[in-house]
Amino acid sequence: MSTKSANTYIPLVQEPRRHHVLGSIFTPAPTVKTSFRLPSGTINLSTLPRQRWTAIKTRCADFVGANAGLLLIMLAQLFFSLMNLAVKVLDQLDTPVPALELIIVRMVRGAPASVRGRIIMKIPDPFLGPKDVRLLLVCRGVTGFFGLFGVYYSLQYLSLADTTVLTFLGPLFTAILGHLILKESYSTKEALAGLCSLFGVVLIARPPFLFGDPSSMMIADSDDSAAKTNASDRLRAVGVHLFGVLLASGAMISIRAIGKRAHAMHCMTFFSLWSVIVAASAMVFLKVPVVYPTHWSWAAMLLMIGIFGFAAQTCLTMGLQRETAARGTMGVYVQVIFAGVLERIFFKTVPSLLSMTGAAIIIASAIFVVLTKQKQSLGDVSVELGESAVEEGLLQHAESRDDLVKP
């Protein structure tokens, strides 16, 4: 055997094998072409972003479908906050628009629209309502007017957030009136929650005999005239608002007493109609002058009050048809957040520590009362959704919890 020399060629790459075929010299083996294929079920990388986007859209759709009622109620609170913002802007004018005039502008479209809706839906007694509850419907309309007047009047002297928070005293007042008038249960815990709420009201009102000179708490860089309101005007505004909340609770009691004997649109009609009647009569009796718009922005604010009010009514109606009592109640309290954000954006107002503490106490007490009521009675569901629900008259005395959940 001979040894290979150092110059012997050694290929680094293996040459193709050759095989002998009859009739030919050494012929290269045919080259085998291989291709890589994704196994079945493997994600195509080119479509991965689209698949993720589809999955996100599916999840969002499922979330909205499962929480449609709650989201609509929260959207209604945004519109109510925007409506109150328009009222607040009109109060900042050199010649403020009276609260009575704002109520007329706000409610004058409600009654005709409600009557037209009842005629289209073929609801019995579309104009006067059922005969046996007409007096209760009138009571609901008149007391509801005072609830709305309390809100609009207090916006002249209180911040948007403070005014919003005070409306959440409604569940506490309604619980007391329900015990006195409808003989509903009223526990010691509810009474303690009421006392806590009154403490929260004191922190918001800040009477000078308890807190001293209110000028030290004023916000210097705020564009809101309410931040520079003197103590007497602030106390009067809180008192008027509390009186309005008390009568608005009477409206809720009227709705409970009416029950299912009248349609919800009857309550809406009587509320709109009697608000216009009482407001117009008060303007004539008290000789309150009518303030006419002198600028396009002024007229735009008046228009916004009607538009946002109608949008809030629509969203609240649709939300209450799809949501349960407890979740619907929780959705209303986001109005405080909307009010605080809008006030910060448009008026550069930061709530004081005392106002924020009082707001937290009132909201916590209101939530406690609502949840306690629901635990006490499963067959008699009563929901207090603040000024917005009082304004609508949509929450009726239901015989079972299932009546509040629509498919």
Model pLDDT for residues 127-180, shown as the tens digit of each residue:
888 888 889 999 989 998 999 999 999 988 888 888 888 888 887 888 888 888
Average pLDDT score over residue span 56-72: 82
Burial class (CB in 10 A: 0-12, 13-18, 19+), 162: buried
Nearest CA among 171, 189, 173, 199 for reference residue 359: 199
Q: Give percent above pLDDT 90 in the chain.
A: 11
User: Alpha-carbon distance 164 to 391, whole Å?
Assistant: 14
The answer to whether 353 and 234 are in contact (CB under 8 A) is no
Nearest CA among 113, 241, 193, 149 for reference residue 367: 193
Question: Does the pLDDT at position 218 exceed 60?
Answer: no
Rounded to two decimals, the pTM is 0.70
User: Alpha-carbon distance 226 to 96, whole Å?
Assistant: 13
Can you name the residues that pair with 28 across neighbouring β-strands?
18
Predicted confidence at residue 126, as pLDDT, reads: 79
Question: Does the pLDDT at position 360 exceed 90?
Answer: no
- Annotate 364-398 with b (16+ C-beta within 10 A) or e (fewer): bbbbbbbebbbeeeeebbbbbbbbbbbbbbbbbbb
Confidence band, pLDDT 50/70/90 cuts, at residue 347? confident
Phi first, then psi: what are they for 120, rounded to 5°?
-65, -40
Q: What is the pLDDT of residues 319-334, one digit of tens each?
A: 766 766 556 666 777 8
Average pLDDT score over residue span 324-345: 78
Predicted confidence at residue 9, as pLDDT, reads: 52
User: Alpha-carbon distance 59 to 57, whole Å?
Assistant: 5
Question: Does the pLDDT at position 373 exceed 70?
Answer: no
